[in-house]
Amino acid sequence: MGVVAFVCGTLPIKLYGILQRRSQANKKGYSSLIISLLSCFAGGVILGVCLLDMLPDAQRDLVDLEKETGWTFGYPVLELCIGIGFFFVYFLEEVIDKLCDHGHDNTRQRRMTVAVLPPPIEESIHHTSDLSVISCEDPQKLSSDYSSTASDQPFGFRTETICIKDSEAEAKHEKRKALVSALTFVLALGIHTFLEGFAFGVQDTQSSVTSLFFGIIVHKALVMFSVGMSLTEKLSDRKWAVIILITALSLFSPLSATIGLLIQDSNIQQTPKAIISTVLTCFSIGCFFFISFFDILAVERKNKHSNILQWIACVCGYIATALMIIVAK
Q: Would the pLDDT of 116 be above 80?
A: no
Q: How confident is the model at residue 232 (pLDDT cuts 50, 70, 90)?
A: confident
Q: Would the pLDDT of 107 be above 50?
A: no
Torsion sign, CA atoms 10, 19, 295, 53: negative
Q: How confident is the model at residue 109 (pLDDT cuts 50, 70, 90)?
A: very low
- Segment 236-260 shows an average pLDDT of 80
The pLDDT value given to residue 141: 44
Average confidence score pLDDT of the chain: 72
Compare 176 and 83 and report the one with higher pLDDT: 83
Q: Give the amino acid at 295.
A: D
- Segment 86-109 shows an average pLDDT of 68
What's the pLDDT tens digit per position in 25-71? Answer: 666 667 778 888 888 888 888 888 888 888 888 888 888 888 888 88
Instruction: For residues 312 and 233, give the distance between their C-alpha atoms in angstroms, rounded to a whole number.
Output: 20
Compare 204 and 186 and report the one with higher pLDDT: 186
Which residue in 200, 191, 219, 197 sits closest to 282, CA to CA?
191
The contacts of residue 131 (CB under 8 Å, 6+ apart) are: 125
**Share above pLDDT 70 across residues of the chain, in percent, rounded to a whole number:** 63
Give the residue ranges of DSSP H helices in the chain.
2-25, 30-48, 55-69, 77-104, 119-128, 168-201, 206-234, 239-264, 270-290, 298-301, 307-328
Domain-wise residue ranges, the chain: 2-103+169-328, 109-165
The pLDDT value given to residue 314: 93
